[in-house]
Each structure stands twice: as structure tokens, then as C-alpha cells.
Amino acid sequence: MSYRKYFLAVLSIFISAFVYSCKEEIVGVRNNNQPPETKVSLIPDSVITPQQTRLLVSWWGDDPDGLIVGFYFRWNDEPWRFTPSNDSLFALKIGASDTTFKFNVAAADDEGNGKYDTRVFQYNTDYGPEPFIDKNGNGVWDSNEKYYDIGLIDPTPAEFFFPLKNSAPTIQWNELSFVPDTSFPVMSFGWIADDIDGVESILKINIALNDTSNFENIISLDGSVRTVTLRTKEFASQNPLMEILIEGQENNIHPEKLPGLGFEDLNYFYVQAEDISGAKSKFISLPGDDPDDYWYIKKPISNFLVIDDYATADNAAAFYTAMFDSLGLSGSYDIFNIKTQEPPFKNVTFFETIKLFDYLFWYTDNNPSIDLASFSTQKYLSQGGKVAFSMQFPQAVDPVELQSFIPIISDSIGVKISLLPGTEIASDTTDPSYPNLKLTLNVFRVKSFYLSELAANPIYYYPNGELPGFAGFTNIEMTEFFIALPLDKCNGTGNVKSLLQKVFFDDFGITR
């Protein structure tokens, strides 16, 4: 027999033997599917150390004859939930006291029955329908949606007890918060509130004026609030209530008013954070514990406010007091020194303060609060207020910012280093009620302006070519008067009184 024939004969015998053997039945008993076992992975010492309410828990499963498809878990015997993950970050809600939570987790293997089951029931436990990815969001499984084919579930789920410690929130004043020693009944406050359990767990911000012992004096705001502005016009009330502007917004006023205000007295504002469990921070107050700090709230005596915007010591305050007293307004105007009584959250608090009054006289040196004038003037005028300025300026000033509150052409400002005593300021109007003025002292860094013809009435200019444009003017509505000079240095002819009388009594309509 040739070698080739011998090889083919052997191969034929081998194939026949292999085919015959495939027809033989498997001898023995096939092993049944074995359920997996589950373990919880723990951070060292977490068994004995109380944890906060944001808790990361890890787990794993071991299947002796297959693979793990996912895990069922639950807290405190609630319904089981499924996850394919090995860990999760939980936010647990606890009471004011420490609480222990029970956690169970059970691994499930992948040896399911190959079809979607609407109910998984094993070891007298109902796990609900097999989990699936609900692509269309209709809440039921559709044939084109992936599902987890659950095999056996660990009949002895891992169990662990987590002792959790509730931490009270904390609160502190933010860097913009303070109180001046004296103010009208308007003030703003801001704070920083936090909670180690998550800032979202802060449910309430509690505020009070002067008394935190009486529950009726405490107003609860939403836990997200971080700034409020308080104001009132209840000047005649024995128990005035203050409106609460959330974040200083006119369109977001809290429905309840804050009691406890003391007119012509020292006052204290308190704030406290409270979390979802009822745990509270301590109350903090402004002023604080320093006995030298105080917050005195004065009640307006009139509808006319004189704003002292002098940064340097000067006799201007005495001059204007004498002027207004000579006009018969003694005891009929209030004074607000915005340098020595500068408010916090300046724009909002200042604007809400001037809204308490119908008329303003605002006088400054060469360092005026232009930012406040720019922010508040047009809004104040639009609400029916009337304002007169005697305002000087620093050497460098932004004309666009000036244009936001006076009716000028922003790119045409005249400048002169100084004007000497005796310089005349002439009236540009045929109305003799606007008298000529004359300087009594040097005035430095003098400015003049070209006016917007459709928005301004020219009143004063510099004769003899001292400066082009105008030094004084009103708006068309006659609700704003402006002069770019210190009137307390313009009384060389004794005419400042007549000018003030013209502006406030004739133009503005103020009454004695």
C-alpha cells in the first residue's frame, strides 16, 4: 500500500470515530446555576465614624459560575432599585439628631431566561419588572429597548449600617456687609451661608430686628436668599414694619414685613441659617458685639433731603444750613452725609434712601460720588423726584458717565485750572429770579459744558471768555437743576439765597 493510500485510510477511520462519538449522550448531571454573593466596600473607619449626609458607597459581587449583570440596593427597607454600577453617591436626609441608616445590596447574575420579565420574584422578594433603558420615556418596556436579563439574585444581600451625623449650617457676613452708625430706615445686608451636608440642604434664612426670642418677630426667607434690603415709610406708626426686598429687587418683595424697628433708637439686625432637618446656625448680628459699634435709625422729619457729599472738612455744611434756615425751612429738611454715613451695597441702599424724599439738594467738593449720581438720578426723576446739584469734579472725569445724569453733550467739556475770587457767573436767562453770582474764593479744576438743546435750558455761563459753554442749567422738565460750582463759594453778591428760592420754591414747588 502506498503512503498516500495509508494516510487516507487512517483519516477515514478517525473521522468515523469522531462522528460516532458525537452521537453519544453526555454522561453525568449538569450543574445548576449558582447565585452570586455580594460585598460592600467601605472606607476605613466608616463603621464607627459618623458620616455626613453626602455619602459615597461602593460594592461588588462574585458569581461562581457566571457574570454579574448588576445590583439591587435599598435604604431602610424601601423598595429595591437596580443599578449596573458598583458605586453611587447618596444624599441622605436626616433629622436634627444623629441617625443610623441601613443599606442592603444584592448582586444579580446574567443567566436570565432570554426574555423580558414584567416581574422578578425570588426568595419571597419582589424586585419589580426587569430594568430596561426607556428610550422613548413612556415608562414601559418596548421590544426595541435594551433590558437587563436578570438571572439569580443573591438570596442573602449584603447589609451595612451607616451612622450619619447631621451638621448644622454655618453663616457669616459677606465682605460688603456693615452698618453705618446712623441711617434712615433703609439698609441692606448680605451673608454667606454654607452647610457641610450641601448648600442645597439650607431650607430657610431666618431674619429679625432687635429680638430673636419672640417667634413672631422672626421672618423666614427661602434658603437660597443671600442679600436683602429693608425699607419702610411707616413713619407715623408706633410699630413700623419694614418691607424686605430680596436681593434688593423691587420686583421681588417678600410677602411678609419685618417687625421690630425702633425709630430714634439703636437697632440690631439678625440672620440665621436653618437646614432641612431643622438644625440651625447661631444668629449673627450687625452691629456685632463690639460696644463701640451701633446702628442708630432716624426718622425723616420732611420730604426734603440735603445730601452732603464733601470728603474734606469745610464750612459748606454750615453755609447751606444757614441758607435753608433763612428760607424758612428750619426743621423742614433732613441731612444725609454720604461720606461719614456711607451705606453698604451702596447703589441700592442709597437709591432706596433718597426715594423716601421728594426733593434733593446734593452738594459736593472735587471728589463727588459720581457713581451714585449716575446710578440713581434718572431713576429718581422718573419716579417724580426733583434734584438740584452743586457739584464739582476731579481733574479727570468720564464725560459719558456725566451724560447719564445731566443733559450735556459728552464730548465738549471746557476745563480751567482755577477761577479767582471776584469772577462773575452770569445768568443766561431773562428771568431775574436766576440772579448773577460772584466767586468769593478760588475754585479749582473748573468745568463747563455744551448742552443738549432738546433736553436742557441754559442758566449760567462765564462772561469775558473764561470758559466756553455753560456752568449752570436745568433739564427741560424743570425737575433737575445743575451748577458745576460750589454755591458756598459763589455768594459774593449775596444772591445764593435768591437762587435757592427760585429753584426749590418756584421751579420745584416745595412748600414750607
Query: 393-411 pLDDT, tens per residue?
Result: 998 899 999 999 999 997 7
Ranked by mean pLDDT, the top range of 13-27, 85-99, 423-437 is 423-437
Q: What is the reported pLDDT for 178? A: 96
pLDDT, tens only, 120-172: 999 999 999 999 999 999 999 999 999 999 999 999 999 998 887 778 899 99
Strand, coil or helix: 230: strand
Cell numbers 469522531 correspond to: 18
What would the grid cell of residue 262 be? 425702633
pLDDT at 382 over 60: yes
Has residue 261 got a pLDDT over 70? yes
Q: Are 204 and 221 in contact (CB under 8 A)?
A: yes
Mean pLDDT over residues 329-347, rounded? Answer: 96
- Give how far Cα 204 sits from Cα of 190, 198, 243, Å: 15, 14, 18
Return residue ranges of the chain for CATH 3.40.50.880: 304-507
Which listed CATH number (1.10.3210, 2.60.40, 3.30.1820, 3.10.20) goes with 170-297? 2.60.40
CA dist list (Å): 342 to 176, 231, 493: 12, 16, 35
Q: What is the pLDDT of residue 31?
A: 65
* 3-state DSSP percent of the chain in helix, strand and coil, to 5: 15, 35, 50
Q: What CA dihedral angle connects 178, 181, 185 and 186, to 10 degrees? A: -30
pLDDT interval class at 96 (50, 70, 90): low
How does DSSP classify residue 19? H
How far apart (Å, rounded) are the C-alpha atoms in residues 360 and 487? 15
SS3 169: coil
Note the pLDDT tens digit of each residue in 35-93. 999 998 765 434 334 445 667 899 999 998 889 999 999 999 999 999 999 999 887 76
Among 278, 248, 512, smallest CA distance to 375 is for 248
Q: What is the percentage of the chain residues whose pLDDT exceeds 90? A: 75
Give the pLDDT of residue 197: 75
Average pLDDT of every residue of the chain: 89
Query: Which residues in the chain are classed under CATH 2.60.40?
Result: 37-164, 170-297
Q: What is the mean pLDDT of residues 290-315?
A: 92
- Sole residue written with cell 429753584: 503
SS3 122: strand
Which residue, among 165, 194, 159, 197, has the nearest Cα to 57 in the 3D structure? Answer: 159
Decide if 150 contacts 117 (C-beta within 8 A): yes
- Beta-strand ranges (E) seen in 19-169 are 37-41, 54-62, 68-75, 81-83, 87-91, 99-109, 120-122, 125-128, 158-164
Amino acid, single-letter form, for residue 228? V
Place 97 in a pLDDT band, splitting at 50, 70 and 90: low
Range with the lowest mean pLDDT among 8-17, 229-238, 261-270, 377-386? 8-17
CA 81 to chain centre: 38
Topology (CATH) of 304-507: Rossmann fold (3.40.50)
Chain segment 200-258, per-residue pLDDT in tens? 889 999 999 999 999 999 999 999 999 999 999 999 999 999 999 999 999 999 999 99
Q: Indicate if the pLDDT at residue 10 is higher than 60.
A: no
Does position 199 have pLDDT exceeding 70, yes or no? yes
CA gap 511, 500 in Å, rounded:
13
The pLDDT, as a whole number, for residue 277 is: 82
d(CA 90, CA 81): 13
Q: How far is CA 385 from CA 50, 196, 376, in A?
A: 60, 48, 11
Instruction: For the beta carbon of residue 282, count every other beta carbon within 10 angstroms.
Output: 11
211: CB partners within 8 A, 6+ apart: 217, 260
Residue 487, amino acid: L
* DSSP per-residue string spanning 257-303: PB----TTEE--EEEEEEETTS-BPPPEEES-S-TT---EEPPP-SS
The Cα–Cα gap between 253 and 241 comes to 13
Global pTM value: 0.75
Question: Do residues 311 and 367 lie in contact, with contact meaning Cβ atoms separated by under 8 Å?
Answer: yes
Give the pLDDT confidence of 446-503 residue by residue, as tens digits. Answer: 999 999 988 999 999 999 888 999 999 999 999 999 999 999 999 999 999 999 999 9
Specify the pLDDT at position 431.
84
> Three-state SS for 399?
helix
As given in the structure block, the three cell numbers for residue 232 are: 419702610
Place of cell 423691587: 250
Q: List CB contacts of 396: < 8 A, sequence separation 6 or more.
A: none
pLDDT at 348 over 50: yes
- The architecture in CATH of the region 37-164 reads Sandwich (2.60)
